[in-house]
Amino acid sequence: MPVAALIFGETEQNEAIAGSRSPYAVAGQPLVEYQLRLAHAAGATHILLYTDRLTADVQTVLTRLERGGIRVDIVQNAADAGDRIHPDELVLIIAAGVVVAPGVSTTLVERGTPCLLTLKADAGVGRSERINAVECWAGVACVAGGLVRTTAAELGEWDFCSTLLRRAVQSNVPHECIDSTVEAAPLIAHVGDASDARAFDLGLIAGQVLPQSGMLDQFVWSPIASLLLPFLLRRGIDSCWFSAALGFLTLLTLAISFFGTWPTAPEFALLLFLSAGCVGVIARRLGSLSLHSMVRLEGLSKARIVIGGIALLFITRQMLEHGANWGYLVLSIWTVIEMVRLSQADPWFTSDHDLPMWRATPDTVAMVMIIALQAKFPLIGLGVTAAYAVVTSFILIRYKRS
């Protein structure tokens, strides 16, 4: 079933009820931009923004979304909205000021049937509309396109969103009550002030579940990211800056390994490579929270692995120039081949999120080599990394077959 989305932005009518609002930042962007990205992430191919106030800020948001491949149509009255929606479409409705965790809207749309999300009346926000004695609307729903069209055709001087809700209730659209007292319940909020926006951001960070790319990610990179994310979202820092930093650090790793001098250059190059890994995790988590496309970041992450392998070969060349034998090169090439193979199973690039945490990754290989160089045992370091990669590759192949 085709999916459309009808996002209710600020209008003069709901401003008169709720008071004038500033464009609060949610997940590092204007609230309306997050709502529109939410609809796109849920699978809506046809997105309408209902507002009678096409401000310069909203126009900037629309331009930015269009550059990212998300096209949004503006509708300024109910009749226009009804004309643009097909009766056979499933329409995702998001009320003005309402935001939810991406999984909530995605799950709702994937059901493919109309449904209202509700809250218990005592847990609902004062701005939420009651649908019965014990429940109030949470501000998110899926309804049939035909219902939107008939409501728009019959509308008089009433608020479109409220009337659409009443028509849905009268039509016995099923509803699902979200128990907001349960810690694991889907996150949903009606953002009325800056404190609401901050609380929602913290909830998004706490509820974020992403695949781990190994031990360093689990115990170092992700904790660092969790500390930084509230500040980054509050400042509205785009993940593209971290993607650019990832690319710069990766190229710098290659340059230092090629042009640097022994013995400091190899360790410095490997430290840069590890720093790029941390930056990449922050970029992934930030992009996931703000619902930005991560296609470019994925390409940079894959390029980092290849360039890291080339850098290791350059480091080995320096070892050969300072008295090492050709066994170093054999171990180095073997390690690079195995790591490129293993990277193809990385959960960031595949749907397999159940790989063992102890497995060899480019970051753990770099860490082992740094320790070996510090201890003045580079041959042992290369031997350990090669064996580590081979054992991981062998076990993962058997794991996949089973």
Which amino acid is present at 278?
A: C
Domains of the chain: 3-201 (3.90.550.10), 210-401 (1.20.120.1760)
Is the confidence at residue 309, as pLDDT, over 50?
yes
Distances (CA, A) of 328 to 134, 256, 261, 320: 72, 20, 18, 8
Half-sphere exposure of 166 (CA within 13 A, CB side): 10
| pLDDT reported for residue 185 | 52
| pLDDT reported for residue 28 | 93
8 A C-beta contact, residue 229 and residue 286: yes
pLDDT tens by residue, 173-211: 998 988 655 444 558 888 888 888 998 999 999 888 877
Count Cβ neighbours within 10 Å for each residue of 348-359 and write b for 16 or more, e otherwise: beeeeeebeeeb
pLDDT tens by residue, 56-98: 889 999 999 999 999 999 999 899 999 999 999 999 999 999 9
Beta strands in 115-187 (DSSP E): 115-120, 135-144, 175-178
Beta strands in 121-172 (DSSP E): 135-144
What is the SS3 assignment for 132? coil
| pLDDT reported for residue 348 | 72
What is the SS3 assignment for 191? coil
Burial of residue 278, with CB atoms counted within 10 A of its CB: 0-12 exposed, 13-18 middle, 19 or more buried: buried
Tell me how far apart the alpha carbons of residues 42 and 105 are, in angstroms, rounded to a whole number: 6
Please give the share of the chain, as a percent, with pLDDT higher than 70.
Answer: 89
**Residue 3 β-bridge partners:** 90
pLDDT tens by residue, 91-126: 999 999 999 999 999 999 999 999 999 988 765 554
Is the confidence at residue 344, as pLDDT, over 60?
yes
